[in-house]
Structure 1
Amino acid sequence: PNVSISLVPPSSSQPGPGRLLCSVMDFYPAAIQVRWFQGQQELSEHVVATDVVPNG
């Protein structure tokens, strides 16, 4: 897989702290699980996941 993580800075429409965006591409099979950790602790609050978008 090809994984990239980027910082999305706050904006006037979404003030507050910046957000981290993780994009995962070029993986097979389509079943994938992405999780965020801080140290050994899995983060579940304020985490938003989207559906898999097929290539095309």
Structure 2
Amino acid sequence: MKVNCFRCKYFKVTWDPGHPRGCTAYNFKTGQIPSIVVKQSSGMECLKFEPKKSKGERR
């Protein structure tokens, strides 16, 4: 399964111009898409992916 960070609840946009994307599950910032960094670092797809809740969905 290909992970889409933009649809993950742990994805965040940061104020750091050099590292504009981040992952709160793994607690890091990057200039790339976080799932690509996880794949390059571990050799595995991201295991922390969780889809964002829909706006009408209760938490």
Check whether TM > 0.5: no
RCO higher in structure (CA 8 A, sep ≥6): 2
TM-score, reference length from structure 1 = 0.24
Structure (1 or 2) with the greater strand fraction: 1
TM-score, reference length from structure 2 = 0.23
Structure (1 or 2) with the greater helix fraction: 2
